[in-house]
Amino acid sequence: MNAEENLPEVSGTILVVDDEESVRKLVARALQGRDLLFAGTAEEAREKYPRADVVLLDLKLGDASGMDLLEEWSAEEPRKPVIIMTAMASISSAVEAMKKGARDYLQKPFPSLDELRLAVDRAVAERRLELENIRLRELLVEQDRFEEMIGASPAMRRIYEMVDRVAATNATILITGESGTGKELVARAIHRRSDRRKKPFVEINCAAIPHELLESELFGHERGAFTGAVRRKQGLLERANGGTVFLDEIGEMPLDLQAKLLRVMDSRGFLRVGGTDLITVNLRFIAATNRNLETAVARKRFREDLFYRLAVITIDLPPLRKRKGDIPLLLAEFLPGVEIEPEALELLKRYPWPGNIRELKNIAERIKILDRTTVGPDDLPQAIRGESREKAGLGDAGYAEEKDLPARLREFEKGILEEALARERGSRARAARRLGITRQSLQYKLEKYGLLEERKESDRKD
């Protein structure tokens, strides 16, 4: 929401609501030179109310009760100042009016016209100040956060604008970015700002569900469809009907299921596993991946037609190392009331953040556990102190140059893969389970590091 577009300007217009013409003329003389509107009935008051900044309201109207109008207008947010006028001044009516939202209370006949002018001018000033404060608060919100996302960097502002633009559509969206950048938050923000926000948001992590179970989770199954299917099960797509389906780690979905998913997206219908009845659904699909799907398509690991169907609109989330100016904002959110010393903040900004926001959040949790109110360099993990000092040219012994970090990371991951395969005597299925990843993901990594070719060469030599 843009505060400047949604909040009215304060022109100082005063609406005088009184069924006595003599009172309206008296107020007109007292407030000469100000922008005035007049109403003698409740209907007329309702009609002119939107154009007013302050209301002078009589409690006794010929056709209605001023108290009823007050209660009706008090439901607005932000509320316009209403000053009650009545010839029936009493403590009880004053208390009731203030409880229902009146800003001030004046007795008729007015003890002093100066008092009337002062009350009106004060109400106009308060109205102007209140709206200005709301504008400032909303501007800060717009600068620092958007839904659950936090950041004021140009990259994040572009993300916010894109989410705002696409939320109202039914377009399929692909969210890309490294692990830990907040892809789920983007998907939830799109759903909450869409026309489907009152319907379910169903998240399906394609990497976390074993491949042999993923089809049943997505589409459901009929009783007796397979061993263990003792009753009919409703699938996640069916449960999400009318809402949004978020397919996280879509790159890990098996090829046969990719084909079935594509048919659902095109036809809006599917069969449960073992079923014959067509189930129709109205869904919006949002997918996310930390993999390069175009590369996966080239390697025949991902269907080209599904890729183009998903990537109608692509939102690419920047890694934390490319938006380091947002680190203080994120720390203020994760560690409210905790002071970060300048040297510690500088180290945090220099660190490359391979785990992105998830890694920063974990470090914040560590600081919470240590119960620190002030965080200095020594309170940070050694990896951050070492990496950051090396990046700053401080020459910490034992730390490689920054340019060697990607190579070190590749060697480390390759070594872990080799160890897992060795422990499981070459069984990729068992190695994948040991590593906590899918077999397809393991296959991809083995190809990435050339381990498949190495194993084939080794087999030939043997």
Mean pLDDT to the nearest integer, 188-197: 93
Q: For a pLDDT cut of 90, what percent of the chain falls above it?
A: 37
Q: Are strands 173-176 and 149-150 parallel, antiparallel or unpaired?
A: unpaired
Quick one: pLDDT at residue 5?
A: 45
Burial class (CB in 10 A: 0-12, 13-18, 19+), 136: exposed
Mean pLDDT to the nearest integer, 225-231: 81
Whether residue 367 lies inside any domain: the answer is yes
Q: What is the mean pLDDT of the chain?
A: 83
pLDDT tens digit sequence for 120-130: 988 888 888 77
Helix H or strand E segment including 423:
helix 405-423
Domain ends where: 258, 285, 316? Answer: 316
CB atoms closer than 10 angstroms to residue 360: 20
Per the CB < 8 A criterion, the answer to whether 181 and 224 are in contact is: no
Task: Name the domain count of the chain.
Answer: 4
CA distances from 173 to 125, 247, 335 (A): 47, 10, 33
Determine the angle formed by the axes of helices 327-334 and 356-369, rounding to 10 degrees.
Answer: 40
pLDDT tens digit sequence for 51-68: 999 999 988 887 678 888
Whether residue 146 lies inside any domain: the answer is no
Angle at 229 between CA 227 and CA 234, to 5 degrees: 150
Quick one: pLDDT at residue 168?
A: 87
- Tell me, yes or no, whether 132 and 117 share the same domain: yes
Quick one: pLDDT at residue 138?
A: 57
- Tell me, yes or no, whether 183 and 309 share the same domain: yes
- Tell me, yes or no, whether 163 and 306 share the same domain: yes
Whether residue 66 lies inside any domain: the answer is yes
Structure token digits, residue 39? 């109403």
- Tell me, yes or no, whether 157 and 304 share the same domain: yes
**pTM for this one?**
0.56
Domain ends where: 267, 301, 316? Answer: 316
Range of the domain at 16: 3-141
CATH of the domain at 12: 3.40.50.2300
Per the CB < 8 A criterion, the answer to whether 279 and 226 are in contact is: no
pLDDT above 70 for 140: no
- Tell me, yes or no, whether 175 and 247 share the same domain: yes
pLDDT above 50 for 399: no
- Tell me, yes or no, whether 165 and 310 share the same domain: yes
Q: Which range is least confidently modeled, 130-139, 293-302, 387-396, 416-425?
A: 387-396
Whether residue 347 lies inside any domain: the answer is yes
Q: How confident is the model at residue 402 (pLDDT cuts 50, 70, 90)?
A: very low
- Tell me, yes or no, whether 410 and 306 share the same domain: no
- Nearest Cα neighbor of 192 from 147, 140, 238 is 147
- Tell me, yes or no, whether 299 and 163 share the same domain: yes
Q: Are strands 54-58 and 36-39 parallel, antiparallel or unpaired?
A: unpaired
Domain ends where: 107, 122, 141? Answer: 141
